[in-house]
Amino acid sequence: MDILRQKLSLLPPKPGVYLMKDCQGQIIYVGKAKQLKNRVKSYFTGSHDGKTARLVSQIIDFEYILTDSEVEALVLECNLIKKHNPKYNILLRDDKTYPYLMITHERHPRVIVTRQIKKGSGKYFGPYPNATAAQEAARLLNRLFPFRKCRQIPTRSCLYYHLDQCLAPCVHDITPNAYEEISKNATTFLNGDQSEVLNLLATKMHTAAESLQFERAKEYRDLIEDLKRLGEKQNITLNDFIDRDVIGYAQTTDQLCIQIFYLRQGKLLARDNFIFPYFEDPEDAFSSFIAQFYLDRKAWPKEILIPPIDSQALTSLFPISIPQKGKKRDLVLMAMSNAQTTLHEQITLEIRQQSDNLQALTTLGELLKISYPRRVEAFDISNTAGTHSVAGMIQFIEGKPHRKGYRKFKIQPMETSDDTASMSQVIRRRYARLRSEDEPLPDLILVDGGKGQINAALKELEALGLNIPVAGMVKNDRHQTNELMDREGNSIPLARNHPTFLLLGRIQNEVHRFAITFHRQQRTKNMTLSALDGITGIGPKRKQHLLQHYSSLSEIQKATIEELQATGLPRAIAVSIFEYFHPAPSLNPLEEEKSIP
């Protein structure tokens, strides 16, 4: 503590980033400050609430990095959070991706929905709040403009050509220049100006009617009505057709809720909620969230509306506006109100859930004659007729899933390959490692199965010198949780509406989901890898490369040469893959004989 006081006295009154460390030297919190001296000192003076007090109690040391401005401090804070993953910081989900609309840079361009942005692949629009909104926009765009619809160009025209929704490069020699005006009009439309498109459709409708093509005229009329109705479907619209996000927040003493409304072309399409603990001023936590949320995104909306906060750093980094009156301010107030409601509901549900979990775990301990099982680990085996055998392990703490504690196991080949032997192997590997690394052990182990799996687990634990309670979760014929079995193999009756039975059902469903998902991934991967073995030029590295870009073998089979090249493969390899899955039709012997001059 004396060292901390000395370091605190030397802190400069300048902007920068500070990194709090625990007794093991691990970075547990990263923060930014306009004045490092005041901010860092505030952690060690005065009283704090429970969570902040817990953070401060673990701080043994800190270091800091000076910056020239608050903007630099904000960006550096985000980078360091991403790098170190401190357990007390706001950590956004890295797997949260948003869909974009893309007009591809192909000879005959298409309109597709994608979640990955690749430089040079096409022109991107978005992000859209969800896949449904993106798919609806793509469907409308394909009806409005004659882009190519097929992934692979066929040998004859289809219905889209006869509906004037495709230029039919399959039967006509369409030059890339022919798509320039189409792409330009589509870009104008996606940027929010629908007037030109409506005028164009009205002209086409009148022309078709004058030519007595009444069905075609009706198509154009319906399309015009769809466009006009698009705005009427939404509860809230702004007539400037601008893409914007509206963000509000609400807080308790230790939790922050952020609500984001996504408006695209002036229309409210969807929303997102984020709830997390914070350990600083609520406005600073709000600013940190916005910086993390937008810095890694490839595109931003044209406007981001937020409530009044004192942060010039945010306004200099992003297109942020703080409305003072009018409809925009009403939208921000609505986001704030929704955030408050969501936070209240979340806290109420958490209190009820904690009460139910406490009752469920207390009863579970009493039934199994063990102490309160705070940390529970559950196992499930998944295979297909004994092949591709894997196991999943999940961890529940205080009745809640603790996903950082989840583990996957590939079952190593054995003389016998039944579920009991697989369970023995997994239990042995899991707890031998925990014991060697001196990691905390669970209070209870649950296995998916009956007496055989329980005995297998107990035998391995005994060999390791560990005394951990084990119980079984037995399913019925419909693969639903049916009963709890103790270590002696005795069935323990439970009412179907009892909190303990419901908790066991959640655990069993979650471990089954986790194990079978891993099993499917391994099976698909092995099938894909084996199917690629016969292609010249495809080795282990290129197999992995393809699996990073395509989720299944069918996607690779459907890909064009250009799409395969777009993943970074050389053209010769892309041609080999395409020709392997699309072999040229061979002539029968009679046709071959006729073809010989």
Q: Give 3-40 as a DSSP string.
A: HHHHHHHT--SS-EEEEEE-TTS-EEEEEEESSHHHHH
Task: Classify residue 459: in a domain, yes or no.
Answer: yes
Query: Which pLDDT does position 232 carry in this prediction?
Result: 41
pLDDT band per the 50, 70, 90 thresholds, residue 519: confident
Q: What is the DSSP string of 368-415?
A: HT-S---EEEEEEEEEETTEEEEEEEEEEETTEE-GGG-EEEEPPP-S
**Pick the residue with more confidence: 12 or 227?**
12
Task: Classify residue 121: in a domain, yes or no.
Answer: yes
Residue 402 identity: H
**Pick the residue with more confidence: 283 or 386?**
283
Task: Classify residue 61: in a domain, yes or no.
Answer: yes
**Pick the residue with more confidence: 92 or 41?**
41
The Cα–Cα gap between 336 and 34 comes to: 26
Query: Which pLDDT does position 235 carry in this prediction?
Result: 38
Asked if residue 495 and residue 538 are part of one domain, the reply reads: no
Average pLDDT rounded to a whole number, residues 154-162? 78
The rounded mean pLDDT for the chain is: 81
Domain boundary (40, 55, 84) is at 84
pLDDT band per the 50, 70, 90 thresholds, residue 392: very high
**Pick the residue with more confidence: 287 or 208?**
287
Asked if residue 414 and residue 321 are part of one domain, the reply reads: no
With a cut of 80, say whether residue 170 has pLDDT above it. yes
Domain boundary (60, 84, 108) is at 84
**CATH number of the domain enclosing 474:** 3.30.420.340
Asked if residue 481 and residue 385 are part of one domain, the reply reads: yes
Those residues whose C-beta lies under 8 Å from the C-beta of residue 198, and which sit 6 or more positions away, are 224, 227, 228
Backbone angles phi, psi at 543, to 5 degrees: -60, -50
The Cα–Cα gap between 205 and 211 comes to: 10
The Cα–Cα gap between 518 and 512 comes to: 10
Query: Which pLDDT does position 193 carry in this prediction?
Result: 60
Average pLDDT rounded to a whole number, residues 151-172? 80
Query: Which pLDDT does position 593 carry in this prediction?
Result: 44
Q: What is the DSSP string of 86-126?
A: -TTS----TT----EEEEE-SSS-BEEEES---TTSEEEE-
Query: Which pLDDT does position 209 carry in this prediction?
Result: 81
Q: What is the DSSP string of 128-146?
A: -SSHHHHHHHHHHHHHHS-
307 and 332 in contact (C-beta within 8 Å)?
yes
Q: Could you report the per-residue pLDDT of 20-40, keeping only the tens digit for each?
A: 988 888 889 988 888 888 888
What is the token pair recorded at 135? Answer: 């798919």
115 and 121 in contact (C-beta within 8 Å)?
no
Q: Could you report the per-residue pLDDT of 74-83, keeping only the tens digit for each?
A: 877 877 887 7
Query: Which pLDDT does position 230 carry in this prediction?
Result: 47
157 and 170 in contact (C-beta within 8 Å)?
yes
Q: Which range has highest mean pLDDT (347-351, 446-450, 526-530)?
A: 446-450
**Closest to 388 in 3D by CA, of 479, 507, 517:** 517
Task: Classify residue 350: in a domain, yes or no.
Answer: no
Asked if residue 249 and residue 338 are part of one domain, the reply reads: yes
With a cut of 70, say whether residue 289 has pLDDT above it. yes
pLDDT band per the 50, 70, 90 thresholds, residue 517: confident
pLDDT band per the 50, 70, 90 thresholds, residue 268: low
Asked if residue 492 and residue 408 are part of one domain, the reply reads: yes
Query: Which pLDDT does position 592 carry in this prediction?
Result: 47
**Closest to 90 in 3D by CA, of 316, 300, 351, 274:** 274
With a cut of 60, say whether residue 549 has pLDDT above it. yes
Asked if residue 153 and residue 71 are part of one domain, the reply reads: no
DSSP 570: -
Instruction: Break the chain down into helix, strand, coil percent, rounded to 5.
Output: 45, 20, 35
Query: Which pLDDT does position 305 carry in this prediction?
Result: 93
CA angle, residues 36, 39, 45, in degrees to nearest 5: 130
451 and 485 in contact (C-beta within 8 Å)?
yes
Average pLDDT rounded to a whole number, residues 276-291? 85
With a cut of 80, say whether residue 384 has pLDDT above it. no
Domain boundary (156, 176, 193) is at 193
With a cut of 90, say whether residue 169 has pLDDT above it. no
Task: Classify residue 517: in a domain, yes or no.
Answer: no
Asked if residue 128 and residue 58 are part of one domain, the reply reads: no
Q: Give the distance from CA 40 to its chain's centroid.
A: 34
The Cα–Cα gap between 27 and 324 comes to: 40
With a cut of 80, say whether residue 325 has pLDDT above it. yes
Query: Which pLDDT does position 413 carry in this prediction?
Result: 77
**CATH number of the domain enclosing 545:** 1.10.150.20
413 and 390 in contact (C-beta within 8 Å)?
no
Query: Which pLDDT does position 99 carry in this prediction?
Result: 80
Q: Could you report the per-residue pLDDT of 433-447, keeping only the tens digit for each?
A: 999 999 999 999 999
Those residues whose C-beta lies under 8 Å from the C-beta of residue 146, and which sit 6 or more positions away, are 160, 164, 165, 166, 167, 182
Query: Which pLDDT does position 234 carry in this prediction?
Result: 40
With a cut of 80, say whether residue 493 has pLDDT above it. yes
Domain extent for 77:
2-84
Number of domains in the chain: 5
Q: Could you report the per-residue pLDDT of 341-358, keeping only the tens digit for each?
A: 888 878 887 788 888 889
Asked if residue 258 and residue 324 are part of one domain, the reply reads: yes
How many Cα atoms within 13 Å fall on the side-chain side of residue 19? 18
The Cα–Cα gap between 572 and 574 comes to: 5
Q: Which range has highest mean pLDDT (69-83, 299-313, 527-541)?
A: 299-313
Asked if residue 44 and residue 132 are part of one domain, the reply reads: no
The Cα–Cα gap between 20 and 64 comes to: 9
Asked if residue 184 and residue 107 are part of one domain, the reply reads: yes
Task: Classify residue 200: in a domain, yes or no.
Answer: no
The Cα–Cα gap between 592 and 566 comes to: 37
Asked if residue 563 and residue 477 are part of one domain, the reply reads: no
With a cut of 50, say whether residue 95 has pLDDT above it. no
The Cα–Cα gap between 178 and 167 comes to: 9
Task: Classify residue 221: in a domain, yes or no.
Answer: no
Average pLDDT rounded to a whole number, residues 160-176? 80
Those residues whose C-beta lies under 8 Å from the C-beta of residue 297, and which sit 6 or more positions away, are 98, 127
The Cα–Cα gap between 202 and 359 comes to: 66
pLDDT band per the 50, 70, 90 thresholds, residue 524: low
Query: Which pLDDT does position 585 carry in this prediction?
Result: 59
Asked if residue 389 and residue 276 are part of one domain, the reply reads: no
Task: Classify residue 253: in a domain, yes or no.
Answer: yes
Q: Is 71 helix (H, G, I), strand (E, B) or coil?
A: helix
62 and 41 in contact (C-beta within 8 Å)?
no
